[in-house]
Structure 1
Amino acid sequence: MSWRGAEKVTGQAQGRGWEGAVLRLLRAKDYVFTVTDAQDVTPEYRRVRFTDGGMLAATGVHPTMWVRLWFDNAGKPHQRAYTLVEPDPEAGTFALEFALHEGRASNWARAAGPGDTVEATVQGTGFEHPEPAPSHVFAVADPASLPALNSLLTALAPVPATIWFEGGLEGLPFRAAAHHDVRQVPRRDNGRHLTEEVKSALPELLKDSPRPYVWIACDTATTRALSAHVRKELSVPRQRVNALGYWRAG
């Protein structure tokens, strides 16, 4: 990144409200990404490719790595987090995949084309391989968290997995393997149907897994309900559970 580009990002960061102020205190790093290509994977799923503004050379890459993108929303800062897809530190490129719905980030992605830029912050992302290594992965995901799910399954490639996926998978770039049991669940009742499906099946499945690893990444309410159930009712140790809400249901 040129000095002039860095100056621009710092100036913009100062107008990001309390979120930007907190990130600055945490020594977050700011970058400008430039769009090189965009394509519709499905009518509701879009992949956008970027040059990284020097980010990957400075930060390195790890599984499920994500960045915060900043958008203007009627004059107010609006940030959303996205997982890197196919990051290439040598080339300084990566892609982001957007599950499209109503919202500022999706609207930006729909219109994005070569030469467009977006400001980004890197802070808070990290990944620790579960130790001891899991005997089985239990994952709950949806289109919004699909890039992170793919990255997780790649990082834990030899481990068998049971995956509850809310919504359709047709046409989506899901990297499932033969040792992955994928259970598609339609979205009903604001995620309550998914919650009940997981609660019904998981106790019996856990009996055959001495070292489970539970990964939950769907809408915030569903994620909270399932993570609390797994920890409190099923007594899975906290360090064996990774849960992050990816979006809020309207």
Structure 2
Amino acid sequence: MGHGWEGVVLKLMRGRDFTFTVTGTEQVTEDFRRVHLTDGGLLAATGGAHPTMWVRVWFQRDGKPHQRGFTLVDPDPVAGRFSFEFALHGGAASEWARAAKPGDTVDATLQGTGFTLPDPAPARLFVIGDAASLPAVNSLLDAVPATPATIWFETTRASDEQLPFRVDPAHHTLHRVPRRDAGAHLVDEVKAALPGLLGEDSSDAYVWIACDTSTTRALSSYVRRELGLSKDRVHALGYWRP
């Protein structure tokens, strides 16, 4: 399958192509599906996985190639396996996930996934995400399981209450925030709580944001400009557009 002009651009940016094969699926909730895959040599080629590692996966939409980023869930470099998790809605990716069965293949390009926690490691985490970024949220929490973390998670469906959060009550505080006013309600909730939680000295904190693009931009601007966190203490990436 050709990848069109996007594929050409990614190749020029030294993207590497792989083909994954489906080994099984799980319907986690009515709106959330997990697909298990072999990695096509990806993890061996990259020397393993890092927290929140993602790839650009190719789907067909109206006969044209279309790519979306997906986080590797529970990557196993020895076995050469991992999973993807899909928040099901309209679109080519969701349609593919609903129909996926063992033996199916899907192409992907590795480009743009770099992420490392700051050094020294943060003593406190503040995480803001939603169903689209839940795999990355869980990956981040798995990487530093004993680090105290406060998570704001935007929900859109009743089934979001059943999503597989990897939180440890001893270290993590999870706030579910219903999506209202195109994400503005989440922004207001974070602005109301974060300054008090950060306190006067935020040098040991790390803020990780991955929501829809406009919400992510609003919160990233807020924590950098108004709360004064340095660039190396904030990671912000828009995961989708409404």
Residue 205 of structure 2 corresponds to residue 217 of structure 1: no
Corresponding residue for residue 16 of structure 2: 29
Residue 175 of structure 2 corresponds to residue 187 of structure 1: no
Distance in 2 separating the partners of 1:133 and 1:120: 31
> What stretches of structure 1 move > 2 A for 4+ residues in a row?
168-171
Between stretches 42-51 and 177-186, larger displacement belongs to: 177-186
Alpha-carbon deviation of 1:170? 2.5
- The CA deviation string for residues 85-121 of structure 1, in whole angstroms up to 9 with x for no partner, is 1111111111000011111111111111111111100
Residue 95 of structure 2 corresponds to residue 102 of structure 1: no
Q: Which residue among 131, 136, 143 is the counterpart of 1:148?
A: 136
Residue 227 of structure 2 corresponds to residue 240 of structure 1: no
Residues 48, 97 of structure 1: 8 Å contact kept:
yes
Residues 135, 210 of structure 1: 8 Å contact kept:
no
The AA in structure 1 aligned to 2:148 is P
Q: Which runs of 5+ in 1 are unaligned?
A: 1-11
Query: What are the within-5 Å matches in structure 2 for residues 125-204 of structure 1?
Result: 125-167=113-155, 169-177=160-168, 178-204=170-196
Identity %: 63
Partner SS state of residue 20, structure 1:
helix
The AA in structure 2 aligned to 1:74 is D
Alpha-carbon deviation of 1:171? 2.2
The AA in structure 2 aligned to 1:157 is P
Q: TM-score, normalised by structure 1?
A: 0.91
Distance in 1 separating the partners of 2:20 and 2:65: 17
Superposed CA RMSD in Å reads 1.2
Q: Which runs of 5+ in 2 are unaligned?
A: none
Distance in 2 separating the partners of 1:162 and 1:147: 16
Distance in 2 separating the partners of 1:47 and 1:230: 33
Partner SS state of residue 170, structure 1:
helix
Q: TM-score, normalised by structure 2?
A: 0.94
Partner SS state of residue 124, structure 1:
coil
Corresponding residue for residue 114 of structure 1: 102
Partner SS state of residue 221, structure 1:
helix
Alpha-carbon deviation of 1:83? 0.5
Distance in 1 separating the partners of 2:154 and 2:145: 22
Alpha-carbon deviation of 1:232? 0.7
Partner SS state of residue 167, structure 2:
coil
